[in-house]
Amino acid sequence: MAFSEFRPLNEKSLVEYIKSVPSLSSKLGSNLDELTIKEVGDGNLNFVFIVIGSSGSFVIKQALPYIRCIGESWPMTKERAYFEAIALKEEGRWCPDHVPEVYHFDRTMSLIGMRYLEPPHIILRKGLIAGVEYPLLAEHISDFISKTIFYTSLLYRTTTEHKSAVAEFCGNVELCRLTEQVVFSDPYKVSEYNHWTSPHLDLDAEAVRNDNALKAEIAELKSKFCERSQALIHGDLHTGSVMVTRESTQVIDPEFAFYGPIGFDVGAFLGNLILAYFAQDGHADAENDRKKYKEWILRTIEDTWNLFQKKFIALWDKLKDGPGEAYLPAIYNNPELQQLVQNKYFEELFHDSLGFGAAKMIRRIVGVAHVEDFESIADASKRASCERRALELAKLLLKERRKFQNIAEIVSAVRKVQ
């Protein structure tokens, strides 16, 4: 261990740290005094350093004791780094092709050393803003979600194993409480942290705060988020938590991970794709009206859900006689019953995903932390128009999600919003 107590690192002190940790220094080559180090953390919470040596590279991520984008006035536990490290390892166990390998974890320093996803990897959100198509995205992300969710659920695990894992991740309470606040509470009341494109969306934000039906639905979803420990979920699976090339998809930043409702991850990803769809008109220009790209996003939304469902059920069918204790083979012992419980399971999961996805969309428009998809639209009037359409769809999905039966109906609903 390089340091006996926590201190935030900078480019200079990080070199000292690396020299004292063999699992890191051994990856960089012999001359550790000529490392290239760049701080690239553009998120809300942490320091992120890219470290490149003569014969290797990695990323160092250090959690701070406060929310970086706000400052020391909003304290935040450094222990989130521990939960991110063990989540990365667990996700990597079940889906190593789409999770960066962890090389080192230091609990005292709240620090993780992991694989550097070298260029041309970029944050998916930036690729969506640029109008880049990723032909394998739906295939890869459905792999990640189906495997990490199935293998950490009671469909695969015993209740004893499951309760032990749930108990471990219950310690990530501060990050869960942050989600409870910014997703399920703040957008529906007056909060000092809320902001929106003003004055254009002033009435829209007020309408959210005054919508009783919306508040009744968000209360139900908050209850599920807090009480339902279905599987290990990433907890923040938006398009800023995925790095991509045309051939590679890597899921990063699971510091919000805990055992929660499966639909939260699925909905977060789909909801952020819908935000990207509505943002496209703000990025269109005379050379590219983005219409073809919007169609690609809609296909990706549909393919992601359909592939996820197909792969998840395939795992369920393959391992129905395995150790999982949700549906004991002695009881659920015929194909008709298996089909019945799977249909019921996915009907609820689909509606949960729509609700959680809608909640994530709303918070990105009238809550504390917005998305670059919209924020990078310089013309405020144009930006507000895009945001308003996304907000109207989100409110519809949240309040009427049980009326939708399949993902094709969701795509149709997206198209209808003017």
Domain boundaries, the chain: 11-115, 122-416
CA distance 321 to 250: 31
Q: Is the whole-model pTM more than 0.75?
A: yes
Q: Would you say the CATH fold of 122-416 matches that of 11-115?
A: no
Q: Domain 122-416 in CATH: superfamily?
A: Aminoglycoside phosphotransferase (APH), C-terminal lobe (3.90.1200.10)
Fold held by 11-115: Phosphorylase Kinase; domain 1 (3.30.200)
Q: What is the pLDDT of residue 67?
A: 76
Q: What's the pLDDT score for residue 43?
A: 62
10-residue mean pLDDT series, the chain (418 residues): 84 96 96 95 83 98 85 86 98 98 98 98 98 98 98 98 98 96 98 97 98 98 98 98 98 97 98 98 97 98 99 98 97 96 98 98 97 98 98 98 98 96
Check residue 1 and give its pLDDT.
47
**Tokens 């450094």 appear where?**
78
